[in-house]
Each structure stands twice: as C-alpha cells, then as structure tokens.
Chain A
C-alpha cells in the first residue's frame, strides 16, 4: 500500500520493463496539469499516472475535479497548463483505444439501442458498414435484447445506463473511462454493472494491442458511491478542490 497527500500523485509512471528492458508506457499520465474555466481552477497542477492494467476509483465531492480529470484523459478538453498523455501520445491520436462513458446515456433517444450501437461501431470501424456482430454481443453481455425495437428515449434509467455501457464495451477499449456510472442506478443495477466491468477487465487484450505494449485493460472510474465500486478499487484516488488529496491502494509494479 502506498499513500500520498498532495496534488502530485504518482500511481505508476514510465519505467523499464524488468523482463524485456523496454520502457512501459503508462495508460494515462498527467504532468503538472491545470484546467481553468475563466477564473475558476477545476484542476490545479495535478501530476498523476495510471499504469496499463490498473483499476482506479476516483472519489471526491462535487466540484473536486473528477470529471475534469476524466475529460482531459479522454481528450474532450485540453489542459490550460501541463501535458496529458495517453499511451505516451496525445489523447486524440489514441481514440481507438479509449472509451468514455458519462452518467448521461450518450445515445440518441429516437433510435433503438441496437441502432445506436451499430452507428457508433461503424464510426469506430473503417466506415464500410461491417461491424461484425459486436453490437449484438455487447447488448447481450449487459442483459439487453438486441431485437428490442423500442427507442432508447423510452428506456428506464437502468436500461439506458446498460445500453451506454454496451456502447463503450463493444469497441473493446484498452482504457475505459467511467464518469459517475452509478449515479442513476439502484444498488442491484450498480452491482451488476460492477460485475460486468470486472469481467471486462479480465478479458485479454488483442494481439495488436499487446504488440503496442498493452498488458491489460485499464479502468478509471469516478463515483460518490465508494462502497459500490469497491471491487474495482485496486487504487483509490481522492480529490478535493482540483487537487489530489490522497492515493491509497495496492502498489503495482512500476509504482514510485
């Protein structure tokens, strides 16, 4: 276990692989990152790394900077100061390897879950319409019927969250970013989601990803409900007022 109590958190950083001698790149790394919205600092000089294959739960009150941290890693916003690297590169060049899910469904209300998933799978693929059954598999995995023609707008909140989870899982990401995924769910649905995420984590990464240095799937999850995310909390990162208050958890290989 390791524990720090300042804005510079170091879970895992780039370090030579003991077996091969090659440098292992962190799944995500922030160096002295600040994010300002006008005069408000959502993140203040945060330095933190997330090792490939790690699972981190980010805790903190509203406005602590959890969502900003995730959106920076996803490449949806850019830092005011500092640098963000995902697999050693700018996030926008690694979009195929990242998936981001927020507490909102990120799906079209007018389309069915299957139509939504097919659409996003086609955008992820080479755009030639072949998505090779991934949407069906993803929907079955989260317990939704792929044949359901009802539009997503008529789904219950739990069903919407499951469809949203299927959207991110179908792309088989190496880095999964989950922003408050349990916020609209009852306890049972949240537990089911955690089980799905545990199962996802245990899946081997593709041969192509292994060649690029990936040795497992990385999950970064923000939540208020720490007890629900406990099985995924290999490392727990607590934030307050845009800084990292503490990092508690199993120090994996590469931790400093």
Chain B
C-alpha cells in the first residue's frame, strides 16, 4: 500500500514538474507577444480583411449569410493563423535560442504544448474581436442552439493551432517554410476543417444536428494532440 502511495506521489510530482515547464514556456511566449505584438496584429489585419472583403463582394442576405458564414469564419482564421504559426517558431530560431531549448532537460513536448496553448490564446483573441464584426457585417443570428458555438469554437481552434504548431516546427529548417506550412497543414486538416465548418453552419442555420461534427472534432483533436506530443521530440531533433 505504501509502495503504491509512493509511486502515486512520484507520478504526481512528475506531472506537476511537466506542467510547470509547460507554464514556463507559455508565460514566455505570452510575454514575447506582449512585447512585439507581431503575431496578433498580423493575424487580426488579415482576418479583418477577409471578413470585410467577402461581405462587400457578396452582399449576402441574412439567410445566405447563415449558409456561408461558418466557411468564411474558419477560412479567415485558418489563413490568418499561418502567419502566427510561422512567427512563433521564427522567434525560437533567431539567435539560435532553439539550441538552448534543446539543451535543457525539460521535455520537448512541454515546449510544444506551451507554444500551442499560446497560439490558442492568440487565435482566440482574434475570434473575440472578429465575432461582433461578423454579426454586424453578415447580419447574423443563430437559428440553432447558439450556445453550442462555445464548444465548436475552442475545439476547432485547437485543431488548427495544434496541427499548425507541429507542422510549423517541422518546416522550420526548410527554405520555403511560409509556403510549406499550408501545403502540409491544409490537406491533413481537411477532416477538422469539415467538422468545424459544418458544425458552425448547422448551428447558425438550425437545419441539422451539429453533434456528429462535434464528435468528429473531439476525435480528431484527441488523435492529433497525442501524435503531436509523441512525435515532437523527433521533429525538434531532426537535422
């Protein structure tokens, strides 16, 4: 019994240490962004442009808006997030800081998780700014259960940033990384993109049940988060 307790205590200590490192990376990334504002400002302008240009180009009625808004919102967030995802690793490469990271005894997956969480916060900030603009420009109100957007948005955003952070690290040492990231990320994210767009449209139009798409997003997130955490050290050490 005492051995089980002692093992449990060790496991808890290990977990606490791991999340201590995750918090350390997250805090550093938030501080870097606060000082430079490179990622958030770039993303915000890009997302705003997409929303405004689509609204001017199609001048949609309320009914049409509900059909297309989910697609436009996620496409805007997807393309906007590319700038932030590349930027987040460029910082690590400057001055060879990544070598110092690799030399530290902290687990590599903690660096990945800290960075993905920081990117989640940045994209979520954009969503907060974008949402009221969407409602105004597209004359939106949900006919389905609007509260379910509170589930779809974090799930969809995590799918974007988790994959994006991983593939941005993968393309870090390539010459055309700005081009390579969307080339790798978009095809792999198609199930998630389908899930988030369909779920959002289902909630806005109220014509179908978004539950199946939400389940798809949950399964996708569990699978890809696990794979990314397990493979990140290999990606980071690749020459």
**A contacts, CB < 8 Å to B:** 74-78, 95-96, 98-100, 102, 104-111, 115, 119-120, 122-124, 126-129, 151, 167
Inter-chain contact A128/B17, CB cutoff 8 Å? yes
Of listed B24, B35, B100, B103, residue having the most chain A CB within 10 A: B103
Report whether B95 and A105 are in contact in the complex, using a CB–CB cutoff of 8 Å.
Answer: yes
Q: Are B18 and A106 in contact (CB under 8 A)?
A: no
B36: CB under 8 A from chain A?
A: yes
Against A, the Cβ 8 Å flags (1 = close, 0 = not) of B16-42 are: 111111011000100110011000000
Please pick, from B17, B96, B103, B239, the residue contacting A77 in the complex, using a CB distance under 8 A: B239
B231 sits at the interface (CB 8 A)? no
Closest Cβ of chain A to B174, distance in Å, is 15
Name B106's contact: one of A74, A99, A107, A123 (CB within 8 Å).
A123
Inter-chain contact B97/A123, CB cutoff 8 Å: no
Given contacts A95-B103, A122-B24, A127-B24, contact A107 B17 (CB under 8 A): no
Known: A104-B96, A119-B24, A127-B20. A111 touches B102 (CB 8 A): no
Contacts of A105 in B (CB 8 A): 95-96
Set of chain A residues within 8 Å of B106, measured between Cβ atoms: 123-124, 127
Q: Which residues of B contact A102 (CB under 8 A)?
A: 96, 99
Cα distance, A238 to B97, chains bound together (Å): 28
Residues of the A chain whose Cβ atoms lie less than 8 Å from the Cβ of B35: 110-111, 151
Nearest chain-B residue to A100 (Cβ)?
B103
In the complex, which residues of chain B have a beta carbon less than 8 angstroms from the beta carbon of A104?
Answer: 95-96
Q: Is B104 an interface residue (CB 8 A)?
A: yes
- Please give me the residue from chain B that is nearest to A125 by CB atom: B20
Contacts of B32 in A (CB 8 A): 108, 110-111
B95 touches A98 (CB 8 A): no
Q: Is B215 an interface residue (CB 8 A)?
A: no
**With contacts defined as CB atoms under 8 Å apart, how many contacts are there between chain A and chain B in the complex?**
86
Q: Is B187 engaged at the interface, CB distance under 8 Å to the other chain? A: no
Contact of A124 with B105 in the complex, beta carbons under 8 Å? yes
* Chain B residues touching A, majority SS: helix
Which residues from A are CB-within-8-Å of B175?
A: none
Q: Report how far A32 CA is from B38 CA in the complex, Å.
A: 46
23 contacts between A and B (CB under 8 A): A75-B102, A76-B102, A76-B103, A78-B239, A100-B99, A100-B103, A106-B99, A107-B95, A107-B100, A108-B32, A110-B36, A111-B35, A115-B31, A119-B28, A120-B100, A123-B105, A123-B106, A124-B106, A127-B17, A127-B18, A127-B20, A127-B106, A128-B20
Most B-side CB within 10 Å, residue of A110, A122, A124, A127: A127
Residue of A nearest to B27 (CB): A119
Are the CB atoms of A109 and B94 closer together than 8 Å? yes
Check A98–B97 contact: CB distance below 8 A: no
Q: Are A126 and B99 in contact (CB under 8 A)?
A: no
Given contacts A110-B36, A123-B24, A124-B106, 5 further A-B contacts (CB under 8 A): A95-B105, A109-B95, A111-B28, A111-B31, A124-B104
* A106 lies within 8 A of B96 (CB): yes
Residues of chain B within 8 A (CB-CB) of A106 are: 95-97, 99-100
Question: Is B9 an interface residue, CB under 8 A from the partner?
Answer: no
Cα(A127)–Cα(B91), bound, Å:
22
Residue pair B94, A96 in contact (C-beta under 8 Å): no
Q: CB distance B95 to A123 under 8 Å?
A: no
A107 cross-chain contacts in B, Cβ below 8 A: 95, 97, 100
In the bound complex, residues from chain B placing their C-beta under 8 Å from that of A99 are: 103
CA distance A100 to B103 in the complex (A): 8
Q: Taking CB as reference atom, which chain B residue is nearest A102?
A: B96
* A-contacting residues, B16-74, CB 8 Å: 16-21, 23-24, 28, 31-32, 35-36
Within 8 A of A (CB), among B220-239: 237, 239
Q: CA A76 – CA B100 in complex, angstroms?
A: 10
Chain A residues whose C-beta falls within 8 Å of the C-beta of B28 in the assembled complex: 108, 111, 119
Residues of A contacting B102 in the complex (Cβ-Cβ under 8 angstroms): 75-76
Residues of chain B within 8 A (CB-CB) of A129 are: 20, 24
Q: Which A residues lie within 8 Å of B17 (CB)?
A: 126-128
- Complex interface residues of chain B between 142 and 176 (CB less than 8 A to chain A): none
Q: Which among B18, B31, B97 has the greatest number of chain A C-beta atoms within 10 A? A: B97
B96 and A120 contact, CB distance less than 8 A: no
Partner of B97, one of A75, A77, A100, A108: A108
| C-alpha spacing A8/B99, complex, angstroms | 28
